[in-house]
Structure 1
Amino acid sequence: MFELAWGEDDSPLYLTDDAGPVRLALTQRRFAPDSGPVHTIALVEVLAVGYGRSPNSMRASRTVIGDRLRYVGHETASVGEVRTLLVRQVDERSGLSAVTSVTHTVGQRAYRFATTLTNGGEERLHIQQVTSAAVTGLTGFLGERSELDLWRASNEWCGESRWFATGLGGAAGLADIDARAHGHFTRGALSSVGRSTWSCDGALPVAVLENRTSGRAVAWQIENNGPWRWGLETLFEDGDALGLALLGPTDLDHSWLIDLRPGEAFTTVPASVVLSDSGLEGAIGELTRHRRSSHLGVEADAYRPLVFNDYMNALMGDPTTEKLIPLIDAAAEVGAGYFCIDAGWYDDGGDWWPSVGAWEPSTVRFGELGLVGVLDRIRAKGMSPGLWVEPEVVGVRSPVAHQLPEEAFMHRGGARIVEHDRYFLDFRSQAARDHLDGVFERLIGEYGATYFKWDYNVTPGTGPDTEASSPGAGLLDHTRALLAWVEELRARHPDIILEACSSGAQRMDPATLAHFDLQSTSDQQESLLYPPIAAAAPMAMPPEFAGNWAYPQPEWTLEQVAFTLVTGLSGRLYLSGHLDRLDQEQLSLVREATAVYPEVMAHHARALPRWPIGLPGWDDGQVAVAGVDAAGAVVFVWNRDEAAAELELAFPDLVGQDVDVRCLFPTSLPPWQTRWRPEHGKMTVDLAGAGASARILRLTRR
């Protein structure tokens, strides 16, 4: 019998086969002799046409091939602090082999999984879904199912990162049907699905399972810039009541089916799991460490310079020389390091949306200076120039729509896929990649752009069916080719900075975030609605990656200006708005924010996120997020309730410690009165008369 404990000493993984397929568990436990594979979930579950499941359900578990896989060997390797485990299994009847890779960095309680299938048989296999990994032993690690809350997020345009909890013991949870009395577990599951190339449209590929009493937690994320699925399933054994299946695209959800011929192989998308003894916040802290170590080794953005972008509540896609010059001067005056010209810089007709694709500057917007002259003005003011691009699409009115060969575009049923006046480039196509190679060589080499806001405002649905066994398979190959192309671009031009944007944050998955330097967290233009989005962003990304917009306006009060600047500084301040029209008092507040920006960013980069009043609700009167480091904490607090009297914030990391509390920003406006209680690690803030306002408070250990 195969048995192995592997990984971090205080939280290893346990693998065993018990005369069946290999199972992966979070706790060490012997199953009853009569359990057998029928009562659990295998590490690798493979659904294939002609094999199916037994018994039938729409869950990931109990696949016939998954039940027939048998352990044939394993090996380990180490490179520096990164350790790898390979577990090999084979189904002798079909000839299919499965090799599951598990990687782990010493000192982290995080594990990344991927599985490679190889058809070693004589007949082709039509694979409908395969787990990157499936995990058991959740209740052994976490505790009773009735004590567990599942945290997940709704995500939509301008309403991103809205987290909510579901009790597993409640009506919305997993019913206990008395599995022993029926001879097998339930057929349902709690699941979440991401669709198409907007990987975060509707839901985030991140979730946390937390014991609300003991504080133990398990978090997971699926690392794909396209479709994904995870499912939380009930199991038969009382001591192993839950299984977790982590998958990329599936036939049922995404029209994904691959034709695996003899000798061919397929590797799943990666998925990661972390363990914590410190609840939801501890689990997200472990994910934050894991996400930081997963980012590409690029240095251009190491100091995270301040970026000004002309779009949000400013030019809104209508840049001209006359409008840009005052903004360029104002951005330089407040200390911006980069100035990004957003959408419309290429458009001659006043309707930039359907004309994207050639990425040549407008001949009418920039007068005698031309775009190059405007970019020179940016450099002359001591800033680096940036440009908005949406490189994955071509507008129906763009000349490129007729210049590129048909194979450069996505097709379905022989017709080009079109959404909202845009065609989609197919990155499987060499012609598409060559086109964009030329575009970026020109934008970087001729125009000198070193910052790119990479947007993506439409999505193609199921995907292209040309040269693919299914639309979903074509889409997965496309998304993988896209990231490979981004890596090649960065290798050729290591000095560029890439911002990920996708109608705000419809593609803030871990795979995208690992390849880009910052993520636009929303397109939300209402400053009072942005705080819940900004405060929850560290659930999906390290706080220093969260590009939170701040867009001060000349008609605003000083408190309103400070409010939006606190929102920006709660992540990576992404500055916009009509700076050129602000009065001196308003500009003074902006300068104060940009002056404190380096200190805040340095803190973000080393801190772990905390939510001292809990994860924000969309309509909450008060919203708060903090970062905790060795020195103490920095907390960002927004008050949206005019009638609020006071607010209590909890800092478990600081219980029993004396701290100094000071306002980090804004220091020129009336201070909030605070009271610290070290015995409880709690701070009370007096909000009486504060109105709609926001502050950044620094808590420093004495």
Structure 2
Amino acid sequence: MHSGANAVIALRAGGAAFVVEICHPVPRVLHWGADLGAALDGLAETAEPAVLNNSPDSPRVFSVWPSERDGWSGTPAQEGNASGYDTTPRPALAAHRVEVPADGVGGRLELSFTDAGLRSSVVYELDRFGVLAVSLSVENAAARAYTLDGLLALLPVPERAVELVDFTGKWCRERAPQRAPFGFGTHLRSTRRGKPGHDSPFLLMAGTAAFSFGHGEVWASHLAWSGEQRYLAERLPEGAGAFAAAIGAGESLRSGEVILAAGERYTAPTVLFVWSGAGTDGVADRLHRRLRARAGHTVTPRPLVLNTWEAVYFDHDLDRLTALVERAATVGVERIVLDDGWFRGRRDADAGLGDWFVDPDVWPDGLEPFVKVVRAHGMQFGLWFEPEMVNLDSSLARDHPDWILGPAAGLGPSARRQYVLDIARPDAYAYLLGRLDALVAAHAVDYLKWDHNRDLLEAVSRSATGERPSVRRQTLALYRLLDELRARHPALEIETCSGGGGRVDLGILDRTDRVWASDCNDPVERAQIERWTRTLVPPELIGSHLGAARSHTTSRTTDLSFRLAVSLTAHAGIEQDLTAASEAELATIAAWSALYREFRPLLHTGRVVNADLADDAVALSGIVAQDGSRALFTWLRFRTSAAGQTGRVRFPGLDADARYRVVVREELGAASRHEAADPSWVARAPIVLSGAVLAVAGVPLPTLNPQQAMLIDIERTS
């Protein structure tokens, strides 16, 4: 450990920098944003704001552990008490440690504090992509118990961050952005669903005026946690030290959920902070690079999936499912996932959850005959589970009613006729792990679809000593269960689904290989949901499936070509009943499957870009190879516009100094137009154009009819 005062520590990587002054009693952040280079002198000298009228007599400080002691009247980093006492944290720096790699890129800063019987720490780690991970912890070093009510990672942002964007949503309409001025007071988003939820804030971004996909500075935060969350942005009239405001996040704790006995430590979920000087696509690029650099990140080609849910629902029949697999083989499917309905007593959503045994009434010879059919076609086999849930109409609930999460006075309302299993109980945990392990081993299961279809309400665990809030315990038990299952079956892949996109965060993605972004396969809704999901999650980790012509969730009818185009640019799959498809439809789906395999290396490694357009009835999104050699763009229209045509549209992410061959790919069928003729360059395609024309000047694009899409393949020639 190093000690000392008034040292300035700078972590720098990827054009971003994080600078802290080591001072007493608590260090302070001097800068978080663009890399300032080596010229850091003057930051500390300019870090003290004015002393205002009717204010504390010393300059207010916004430290790394914001508290009232320093004149900070906003939300403190730490809230808690020792039986009603010690309610005002006063941490004092005890030591600090700095680790910077030999190449000077990124690094780690650990700060340790003491405070009235508590030991606490904050760790900052800047990776080589410019993503700053912040982890806080508090240990009770005294004999009396300490109740922790909250621990937030907070960072200051400058005056020019004047707008906020975060997300809301509902089932089948997840990650809908909402923008607001960054005004005075507290912008607080707190989830109380036992998980992030369909309305999760997801990513809180503060930015310069009118920041967009490709423009403006953005300061963003994401809580990598699958339990309850708390995001805030706060601006006080007196500012935050030398800064204007603060943003941050942390776990949302229920009253009494964390009571630390002597020697116990609470470690908060990691919060990721990202600065970008190139809009929200810049934020996405940093996060995607970070995820792709993980040791456990998937590197094998993402197989084309067929999930049986919307094709057959609960109607499990070997002959019918065999016919579906045979049709799937003709179009190039590489993985079959048998969804809900295979286990004991599960003929609809009212019963069976918890009884994870193959139903002999439906599968008299077990699952093995079906698994053999799948393997005979060279496909992987996947299986659906919802391990954290239970129906009252199940042997599990009848035999172990005390395993259900909820108060002893009586359970509250069911949701989808189900309740939550208290998986933090050792006996319930052991049962689940045993059943999952046995089924994966018995059938050499390649892939699990792990569902979680309801919110947690009155989430308390029952014991002989009473009832305690248990969302945190439930979340940690989930993590242990996933970790142990993966340890026993290292090749197993897991998809996280939570009524669709109700649990999409980087905590769950540390343990899974794919997210199900939404239960909505309607491409009009799906295109919007996935566009914003990609701000955090790279395309190869987002499942996107072809659904029926008439959407099962919205009843909207769309063309096959549009549905295929939207589901192409992620981890593609199928839920449509292929046994009901015509030969012409199957041929088009097979062509789409071939396109997916052709572009898969690009789609699953490239950089996501979005054009900034004045008209939100249209969208141009693309994925550009990291070396700039190739790109695939999707030009789509959601609805009609007042204007008859768009004028010149710029293709982001291309090199202005290069030349590109541009091809309109119509293997899925030509998009329907609302015009007499295309712009002339489209009619002449394939065509070679300069990067300056494509990326700087832009080109006019066809006026499509609503719910139509066009694929544009761009390859560098020089």
Structure 2 counterpart of 1:185: none
Matched residues in 2 for 1:159 and 1:333: separation? 33
Call closer, same or farther: CA 1:215–1:428 in 2, change over 3 Å: same
Aligned counterparts of 2:199 and 2:245: Cα–Cα separation in 1: 25
Map 1:84-483 onto structure 2 (within 5 A): 84-91=108-115, 94-105=116-127, 107-131=128-152, 133-136=153-156, 138-139=157-158, 143-145=159-161, 148-168=162-182, 174-175=183-184, 188-212=185-209, 215-235=216-236, 236-237=238-239, 239-250=242-253, 254-255=254-255, 257-294=257-294, 297=296, 302-312=300-310, 314-346=311-343, 348=345, 350-366=347-363, 370-404=366-400, 406=402, 408-413=403-408, 415=410, 419-420=414-415, 421-466=417-462, 474-483=470-479
1:41-76: CA deviations, max 9, x gaps? 332358xxxxx9998978336968676211111113
Instruction: Report the equivalent of 1:502.
Output: 498
Q: Aligned pair 1:26/2:27, yes or no? A: no
Structure 2: state its 5+ residue gaps. 33-42, 80-85, 682-688
* Other structure's SS at 2:340 match: coil
Q: Deviations over 1:230-249 (max 9, x none)?
A: 21112424841112232112
| 1:3 is aligned to 2:7 | yes
Q: Is the 8 A contact 1:189 1:232 kept in 2?
A: yes
The structural deviation recorded for 1:569 is 1.0
CA distance in 2 between partners of 1:485 and 1:154 (Å): 29
Question: How far apart are 1:344 and its partner, in Å?
Answer: 1.3
* Structure 2 equivalent of residue 594 of structure 1: 593
Equivalent pairs, count: 659
User: Is residue 2:636 matched to residue 1:638?
Assistant: yes
AA of the residue aligned to 1:74: H
Shift of 1:404: 3.9
TM-score, length of structure 1 as denominator length:
0.85
Q: Secondary structure at the match of 2:437?
A: helix
Q: Relative to structure 2, which stretch is displaced further, 155-164 or 631-640?
A: 631-640
For 1:72, the aligned partner's letter is A
Distance 1:226 1:302 in 2: 30
Distance 1:515 1:530, change over 3 A: same
Name the CA shift for 1:232/1:37 in 2 (closer, same or farther; >3 Å).
Answer: farther
CA distance in 2, matches of 1:451, 1:309: 11
Q: What amino acid is the match of 2:94?
A: V
Task: Supply the AA of the counterpart residue of 2:702.
Answer: L
Q: Which amino acid aligns with 1:7?
A: L
Q: Is the contact made by 1:551 and 1:577 (CA closer than 8 Å) also made in structure 2?
A: yes
Q: Secondary structure of 2:713's partner? A: strand
Task: Supply the distance in 1 between the matched residues of 2:70 and 2:7 (Cα, whole angstroms).
Answer: 26
- 2:63 aligned residue: 42
SS in 1 for 2:129: coil
Q: Residue 537 of structure 1 is aligned with which of 533, 543, 557? A: 533
Indicate whether 1:73 and 2:88 are aligned: no
* Shift in alpha-carbon separation, 1:462–1:135, aligned structure 2, 3 A: farther
Deviates more, 1:512-521 or 1:71-80: 71-80
How many angstroms apart in 1 are the aligned matches of 2:644 and 2:362?
51
Within the candidate set 611, 615, 621, 2:617 is matched to 621
Aligned partner letter, 2:649? L
For residue 191 of structure 1, what is the amino acid of its counterpart?
L
Aligned equivalent of 2:708:
693
- Provide closer, same or farther for how the CA distance between residues 593 and 349 of structure 1 changes in structure 2, counting only shifts above 3 A: closer
The structure where helix makes up a greater share of residues is: 1
Question: What do the CA deviations read for 1:450-508 (whole angstroms, capped 9, x no partner)?
Answer: 21111110122252244699988521122012112201111110121111111110000
Deviation at residue 418 of structure 1 after TM alignment: 6.3
Q: Is the 8 A contact 2:546 2:567 kept in 1?
A: yes
Aligned-partner Cα distance in 2 for 1:463–1:698: 50
Alpha-carbon separation, structure 1, partners of 2:289 and 2:87: 36
Moved more, 271-280 or 463-472: 463-472
Aligned 8 A contact 1:205 1:228 in 2: no
Alpha-carbon distance, 1:87 to partner: 0.5
What is the alpha-carbon distance in structure 2 between the residues aligned to residue 117 and residue 557 of structure 1?
Answer: 51
* Alpha-carbon spacing, 1:227–1:667, altered in 2? closer, same or farther (3 Å): closer
Cα distance, 1:511 vs structure 2: 0.6
Distance 1:113 1:466 in 2: 34
Which one-letter code corresponds to 1:76 in the other structure?
V
**2:308 is aligned with what amino acid?**
D
State how far apart, in whole Å, the 2-side matches of 1:544 and 1:471 are. 42
Partner of 1:59: 75
RMSD of aligned Cα (Å): 3.3
| Cα distance in 2 for residues equivalent to 1:472 and 1:506 | 24
Render the CA deviation track for 1:512-547: whole Å, top value 9, x for unaligned: 122111111111143433221122220231111111
Kept in 2, the 8 Å contact 1:535–1:624? The answer is no
Query: 1:435, 1:479 → 2: CA distance?
Result: 17
Contact 2:95 2:113 survives alignment (8 Å): yes
Q: What is the one-letter code of the residue matched to 2:248?
A: A
1:53 to 1:392, Cα distance in 2 relative to 1, 3 A:
farther
Partner amino acid for 1:482?
A: L
Alpha carbons 1:462, 1:472 under 8 Å: kept: no
Q: Is this contact kept in 2: 1:20–1:70, CA < 8 A?
A: yes
Kept after mapping to 1: 8 A contact 2:164/2:207: yes
Percent identity reads 19
Which letter does structure 2 place at the counterpart of 1:127?
Answer: L
Q: For residues 459 and 468 of structure 1, what CA distance do their matches in structure 2 show?
A: 26
- Once the two structures are TM-superposed, the CA of residue 318 in structure 1 deviates from its matched residue by 2.6
- Could you tell me whether the CA contact under 8 Å between 2:662 and 2:714 is conserved in 1? yes
In structure 1, runs of 5+ residues without a counterpart are 47-51, 169-173, 176-187
SS in 1 for 2:477: helix
**Alpha-carbon deviation of 1:584?**
2.1
SS of 2:427's equivalent in the other structure is helix
1:346-377, CA deviations, whole angstroms, 9 ceiling, x for partnerless residues? Answer: 254632443211122223334x6543212221
Q: What CA distance in whole angstroms lies between the structure 1 residues aligned with 2:700 and 2:587?
A: 25
How far off its partner does 1:226 sit? 0.6
Aligned residues of 2:225 and 2:506 also touching (Cα < 8 A): yes
Counterpart secondary structure, 2:227: coil
Greater mean alpha carbon deviation, residues 318-327 or residues 686-695: 686-695
Distance between the aligned counterparts of 2:252 and 2:640, measured in 1? 46
Note the 1:513-532 alignment, pairs <5 A.
Answer: 513-532=509-528
| Alpha-carbon shift at residue 225 of structure 1 (Å) | 0.4
Structure 1 residue 337, shift from structure 2 partner: 1.2
Contact 1:209–1:217 (8 Å) recurs in 2: yes
Structure 1 position 600, deviation (Å): 2.7
**Cα distance between partner residues in 2 of 1:530 and 1:86:** 42
Q: Give the distance between the partners of 1:23 and 1:613, measured in 2 at CA.
A: 36
Residue deviations 1:567-616 (CA, integer Å, cap 9, x gap): 1112111211021222222111111111121233321222222211459x
Q: Does structure 1 retain, via aligned residues, the 8 Å contact 2:200–2:502?
A: no
Helix, strand or coil at the partner of 1:351: coil
